[in-house]
């Protein structure tokens, strides 16, 4: 069977690729697409269908299933590490997630606030002391989430460059199969060594506590790998995209600066319109399932086009407009179902502190390159911006 290739290039940074919108507006909202792997997958595009799929146990997250949707031509090798929680189905998944989710509760995240504020202030100090224009990505977007996740896990920060390079390689579609294997192997070797040290000399950090709870070091390794990759680039890209969006909207920016209670709703809207991990919600059917009048057969790969769903007019009024006070939280930017992002409350808090602090401390911040001339990441799995030159006026 032939099906058109999945399109991944966005014509507008805060809109889904036009092809996804076209599929969403067909009668069923469901179509067949050919993935970069050559697999033919069902593509879901409506919020209702995607939420139904992600809460239905007849769809599996097991990436070892050869029919699981892939963005790489080669089958990834799975012998290097045990499965992490995002690859598990019930009943294995529940206990494994519960063993770590206590580290990410809303209250635990609130406890991190003073330290995250300190990290953000230090990086803004350094940026203000440096030359103009500065690249916001290198000055703030990348180092803040990187430092936060490294401290939380108990990874020495002087190794964060090591992680940066390898996680970027893993997320880039341009990386060769060999490059990908090498990055995984090097990250894995590093983490194995770190976990062995923590097993010998217990430390009071996430990885140390996982070991102290009696979790198998092999499982802690898979968890560490997942959290480091997930915690590096995602929040960084949302910081960059969010700051650009705010700087392009001076009136709304002024409203945010005047009332910090507006920041969290604005973050939800930014998460919705950018949907940076738009292809993260893939599954494989393990039984025949009917969705929207279409029968998906057992063994069929299924891809959620989450960005199209987050712009679904059936779910959001004026769905294509950015309304920073919309306050809608029914989007699937962090996924949905039992695998919904473990770090979402950490991400929200980091974004809130970064936006509030930037607006307060650098009221004269502006883009040094117009938003439409920036280099957006159409070549990687997680959407974002490569570089954001910013400058600022000295306070009067």
Partner 1 sequence: MTAIVADVGRCVGAGQCVLTDPDAFDQSEEDGTVIVLQDSPSDDEALKRAQVAVDICPSRALSLTQ
Q: What is the contact surface with partner 1 in residues (CB under 8 A)?
A: 54-55, 94, 97-99, 101-102, 104-107, 329-330, 335-338, 340-341, 344-345, 348
- What CA–CA distance (Å, rounded) separates 297 from 291? 11
In angstroms, what is the minimal distance from the CB of 103 to partner 1? 8
In angstroms, what is the minimal distance from the CB of 368 to partner 1? 35
Provide CB contacts within 8 A for 358, sequence distance 6+.
Answer: 124, 140, 243, 365
In angstroms, what is the minimal distance from the CB of 118 to partner 1? 24
Q: Which residue's CB is nearer to partner 1, number 40 or number 264? A: 264
Q: Which residue's CB is nearer to partner 1, number 285 or number 346? A: 346
- What CA–CA distance (Å, rounded) separates 8 from 16? 9
Could you tell me if 41 and 299 are in contact, meaning their C-beta atoms sit under 8 angstroms apart?
no
In angstroms, what is the minimal distance from the CB of 93 to partner 1? 8
In angstroms, what is the minimal distance from the CB of 127 to partner 1? 30
**Ramachandran sector of residue 133 (left: φ over 0; alpha: ψ -120 to 50; beta: rest):** beta
Provide CB contacts within 8 A for 258, sequence distance 6+.
Answer: none
Tokens standing for 24?
């969403």
213-221: long-range pairs with CB below 8 Å, 24+ = 213/99, 215/99, 218/81, 218/82, 219/82, 219/96, 220/195, 221/81, 221/82, 221/188, 221/191, 221/192, 221/195
- What CA–CA distance (Å, rounded) separates 220 from 211? 7
In angstroms, what is the minimal distance from the CB of 24 to partner 1? 21
Q: Which residue's CB is nearer to partner 1, number 180 or number 331? A: 331
Q: Which residue's CB is nearer to partner 1, number 85 or number 285? A: 85
Helices (H), the chain: 18-24, 47-54, 93-101, 106-129, 136, 143-153, 160-171, 177-200, 206-212, 217-247, 250-258, 263-274, 306-309, 344-361
- Tell me the β-bridge partners of 383: none
Q: Which residue's CB is nearer to partner 1, number 4 or number 102? A: 102
In angstroms, what is the minimal distance from the CB of 334 to partner 1? 8
């Amino acid at each position: 069977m032939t099906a058109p290739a999945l399109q991944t290039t966005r014509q507008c940074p805060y809109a889904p690729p036009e092809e996804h919108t076209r599929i969403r507006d067909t009668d069923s909202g469901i179509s067949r697409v050919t993935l970069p792997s050559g697999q033919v997958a069902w593509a879901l595009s409506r919020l209702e269908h995607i939420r139904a799929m992600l809460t239905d146990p007849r769809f599996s997250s097991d990436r070892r299933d050869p029919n699981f949707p892939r963005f790489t031509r080669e089958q990834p090798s799975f012998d290097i590490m045990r499965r992490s929680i995002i690859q598990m189905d019930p009943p294995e998944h529940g206990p494994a997630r519960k063993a770590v989710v206590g580290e990410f509760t809303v209250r635990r995240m609130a406890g991190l606030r003073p330290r995250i504020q300190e990290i953000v202030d230090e990086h803004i100090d350094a940026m203000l002391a440096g030359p103009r224009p500065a690249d916001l990505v290198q000055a703030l977007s990348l180092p803040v989430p990187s430092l936060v996740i490294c401290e939380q896990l108990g990874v020495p920060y002087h190794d964060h460059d090591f992680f940066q390079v390898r996680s970027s390689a893993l997320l880039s579609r341009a990386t060769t199969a060999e490059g990908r294997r090498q990055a995984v192997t090097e990250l894995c070797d590093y983490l194995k060594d770190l976990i062995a040290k923590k097993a010998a000399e217990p430390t009071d950090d996430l990885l140390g506590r996982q070991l102290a709870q009696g979790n198998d070091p092999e499982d802690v390794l898979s968890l560490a790998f997942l959290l480091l990759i997930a915690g590096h680039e995602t929040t960084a890209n949302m910081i960059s995209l969010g700051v650009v969006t705010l700087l392009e909207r001076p009136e709304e920016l002024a409203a945010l600066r005047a009332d910090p209670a507006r920041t969290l709703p604005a973050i939800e809207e930014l998460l919705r319109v950018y949907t940076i991990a738009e292809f993260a919600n893939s599954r494989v059917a393990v039984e025949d399932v009917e969705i929207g009048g279409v029968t998906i057969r057992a063994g069929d790969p299924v891809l959620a086009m989450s960005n199209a769903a987050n712009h679904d007019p059936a779910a959001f009024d004026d769905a294509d407009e950015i309304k920073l006070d919309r306050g809608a939280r029914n989007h699937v930017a962090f996924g949905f179902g039992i695998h919904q992002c473990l770090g979402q409350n950490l991400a929200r808090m980091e974004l809130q502190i970064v936006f509030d602090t930037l607006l307060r401390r650098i009221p004269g911040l502006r883009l040094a390159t117009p938003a439409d001339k920036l280099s957006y990441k159409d070549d990687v799995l997680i959407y974002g911006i490569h570089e954001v030159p910013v400058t600022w006026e000295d306070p009067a």
